[in-house]
Amino acid sequence: MLKNYMKEGQKLPLFGVGPYIVYGIAMVNVIGIILFGYVFKLGILDKPWIYVFRIVGIMFIVLGGVVWFIGALRSDMDESITENKLQTKGIYAWVRNPMYSGWWILLSGITFMWHNAWMLILPVIDWMIMTVALICTEEKWLHDLYGKEYDDYKKQVNRCIPWFPRKDRGSV
């Protein structure tokens, strides 16, 4: 189990529920791959779809890795957490949860590598798990800690899908 190192006065855990969300959606994908690809052998596509799915899969794997890397290692998020500051710049201006999003995109890419039409449901299930888990945990923590500042930020930036910030809905 990961230890959430806490500095005196720090309000949020360093890791939050992240490892549990990532492990959960990874297990959904593993189960889906085993069931659809090997047990029931449903939805397996032939050429040219094999190439399309694998190219998209590789692109998603790379994109997910980049999103995670920037969110985890290039964003100063650890410092924001230990200093109790809401992180809204850099990649956090594009997506509120880039580390979770990165894993979600990466795992979706891995499922594409099996070129199986039935597995297209797995990223949707993963997104639902991630969304519910974040709403029930970290979003509540952040609202309790930052209040209106976080509510305004939520209006501008998507939870899980990286996209252009919505500047027209007020400023952070």
Per-residue pLDDT reduced to its tens digit, 85-101:
999 999 999 999 999 99
SS3 label, residue 5: coil
Residue that wins the pLDDT comparison between 5 and 27: 27
Class at the top of the CATH hierarchy for domain 24-162: mainly alpha
Residue 170 pLDDT > 90: no
* Residue 67, token pair as written in the block: 């999103």
Say if CB 86 and CB 77 are below 8 A apart. no
Say if CB 159 and CB 131 are below 8 A apart. yes
| The model's pTM | 0.88
Say if CB 100 and CB 128 are below 8 A apart. no
Backbone angles phi, psi at 136, to 5 degrees: -80, -15
pLDDT of residue 124: 98
Q: Which residues contact 79 (CB under 8 A, 6 or more apart)?
A: 85
pLDDT of residue 172: 40
Lowest mean pLDDT among 45-59, 79-93, 111-125: 79-93
